Structure 1
């Protein structure tokens, strides 16, 4: 059974899924096999946290959670931090790219949700407040 999803939201879900898969795969293969700075605690934490927040953001969007805006904003920050960390290391270009694309998509979704919430508040008749 499929559910209609806003194309912008579906694009963000897809970006989050790509980022999650890429971060998890690169952390568990490329980074562990490369060693050195690739397995520094800060870098590994960022990669695993990025993968986790991407999964959680996807879940929140799919459930139409009222907290999706805030979570997408946090996801964008985590993805940016992960991209910066990956850019400092050899062979992490694909991960950095997936993180940057996800961050951009999440920023757009966070802004979209915020506009919807503001618009919904403005349309409420005064006698119902």
Structure 2
């Protein structure tokens, strides 16, 4: 079995971490905080971010050549999610996970 490169394994880890943090934050922090945290635009962005991160990790695990396109989109969505979570405040874990994932995916897409 061909092993994944260290960079790809790192990107998979970042994607899965971001998936977990975004989904967990949306389902706990955002739903419990309410207000701007559950406005459709923000909540949909968090769900889209979680899903693209999960999908990116999955395609890398499959060793699919399509991972580059998905990682590029993942970096874009993660960057947008990080900015929106920062705007709302109190979501430092999400901002950090999204920023790190975006960086890693951007490098993987290059």
Q: Same fold (TM over 0.5)?
A: yes
2:51 alignment partner in structure 1:
52
Mapping for residues 47-86 of structure 1, pairs under 5 Å: 47-86=46-85
Structure 2: runs of 5+ lacking an equivalent: none
How far the C-alpha of 1:3 sits from its partner, in A, is 6.2
Provide the C-alpha distance between the structure 2 equivalents of 1:88 and 1:76, rounded to a whole number of angstroms.
18
Structure index of larger Rg: 1
Cα distance in 2, alignment partners of residues 59 and 25 from structure 1? 19
Number of residue pairs aligned between Structure 1 and Structure 2: 110
What TM-score do the two structures reach when normalised by structure 1?
0.83
Structure 2 counterparts to residues 1-129 of structure 1, below 5 A: 4-111=3-110
Query: For residues 69 and 5 of structure 1, what CA distance do their matches in structure 2 show?
Result: 14
Q: Which has the higher contact order (CA 8 A, sep 6+)?
A: 2
TM-score by length of 2: 0.96
Q: SS where residue 88 of structure 2 aligns?
A: coil
Cα drift, residue 89 of structure 1 = 1.2
